[in-house]
């Protein structure tokens, strides 16, 4: 099984407020339709929330616990916004003959102090083995300690990536960049040097931008490829196990 993540930086206009990037969604859905038709079906899809998540979390103050009625309403609204984005992606995938089904994380799991403590991943495995493409997304989830909290798409990647053959993260840059160049490979040997170049995000990203992504990837212990999903063909190559422009994190 492979895990593919498409970042909110690609599916949405991340600097806006709940704005889709329909052109990118359509291009990626078309690519995935082609891959699916040719037999690449051994993966689950996780997507970020982009401008359907981060600005709402900031607006409603949802990042340090959910206690008041206003925060609960904000959490419900933010969850609904994330499912709206997911639905737009599903529509595009189904138009390209991919039988994609959203499994909202809030419905199958919970957090404890912002980390996943329970996830009924059986339904995800069943969908996959039955020939469907399970789609999960960054979401608001119940939290045993905090009432509720954000679960990033990147955390879902590290959770579901543990048993994966490979993990592919599509974002809006060519990989991890240091001194103006894409770093081809990150291992224990160069990690601390590379980390000096890795920051958050240029846009609102409450889940740590590139640094948050890298921290999650280091938890997996499986090969992870960070690539530019604004070039869908690069993602397709990686899904097929071929080489492409990217950063490999080992
Ligand atoms: N060293 C780095 N190399 C590449 N991107 C970086 C680096 N440091 C910070 N970033 C930022 O991380 C962003 C990608 O993370 P993020 O905005 O969270 O994307 P996504 O929505 O795909 O999760 C890039 O657009 C860039 O602004
Ligand atoms: Mg992010």
CATH of residue 126's domain is 3.40.1160.10
**Residues forming beta bridges with residue 52, ordered by sequence position:** none
Question: Per-residue pLDDT for the chain (250 aa), expressed as one digit of tens each?
Answer: 999 999 999 999 999 999 999 999 999 999 999 999 999 999 999 999 999 999 999 999 999 999 999 999 999 999 999 999 999 999 999 999 999 999 999 999 999 999 999 999 999 999 999 999 999 999 999 999 999 999 999 999 999 999 899 999 999 999 999 999 999 999 989 999 999 999 999 888 999 999 999 999 999 989 999 999 999 999 999 999 999 999 999 9
**Ligand 1 pocket test: which of 9, 16, 45, 156 has the largest number of ligand atoms within 8 Å of its C-beta?**
9
Q: Could you tell me if 59 and 74 are in contact, meaning their C-beta atoms sit under 8 angstroms apart? A: yes
For residues 69 and 48, give the distance between their C-alpha atoms in angstroms, rounded to a whole number: 26
Domain range for 240: 2-249
Residue 216 makes CB contacts below 8 A (sequence gap 6+) with 152, 154, 155, 157, 158
CA 16 from centre of chain: 19
For residues 88 and 83, give the distance between their C-alpha atoms in angstroms, rounded to a whole number: 9
Domain count across the chain: 1
SS3 245: coil
Ligand 1 proximity of 155 Cβ (cutoff 6 Å):
no
Q: Could you tell me if 90 and 101 are in contact, meaning their C-beta atoms sit under 8 angstroms apart? A: yes
Stated length of the chain: 250
Tell me the two tokens of residue 197: 């170049």
Residue 209 CA, ligand 1 centroid: distance in Å: 5
For residues 224 and 250, give the distance between their C-alpha atoms in angstroms, rounded to a whole number: 7
* CA R_g for the chain: 17
Residue 14 CA, ligand 2 centroid: distance in Å: 10
């Amino acid at each position: 099984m492979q895990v593919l993540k498409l970042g909110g930086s690609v599916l949405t206009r991340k600097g806006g407020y709940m704005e889709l990037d329909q052109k990118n969604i359509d291009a990626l859905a078309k690519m995935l339709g082609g891959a699916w038709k040719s037999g690449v079906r051994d993966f689950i899809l996780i997507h970020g929330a982009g401008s359907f998540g981060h600005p709402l979390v900031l607006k409603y103050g949802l990042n340090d616990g959910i206690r008041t009625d206003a925060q609960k309403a904000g959490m419900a609204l933010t969850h609904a916004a994330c499912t709206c984005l997911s639905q737009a992606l599903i529509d595009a995938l189904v138009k390209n003959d991919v039988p994609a089904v959203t499994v909202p994380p809030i419905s199958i799991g919970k957090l404890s102090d912002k980390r996943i403590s329970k996830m009924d991943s059986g339904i995800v495995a069943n969908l996959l083995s039955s020939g469907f493409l399970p789609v999960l997304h960054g979401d608001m989830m119940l939290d045993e300690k905090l009432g509720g909290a954000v679960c990033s798409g990147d955390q879902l990647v590290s959770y579901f990536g543990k048993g994966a053959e490979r993990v592919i993260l599509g974002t809006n840059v060519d990989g991890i960049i240091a001194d103006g160049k894409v770093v081809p490979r990150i291992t224990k040997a160069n990690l601390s040097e590379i980390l000096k170049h890795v920051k958050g995000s240029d846009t609102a990203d409450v889940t740590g931008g590139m640094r948050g992504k890298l921290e999650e990837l280091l938890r997996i212990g499986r090969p992870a490829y960070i690539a530019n999903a604004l070039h869908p063909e690069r993602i397709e190559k990686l899904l097929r196990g071929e080489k492409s422009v990217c950063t490999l994190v080992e």
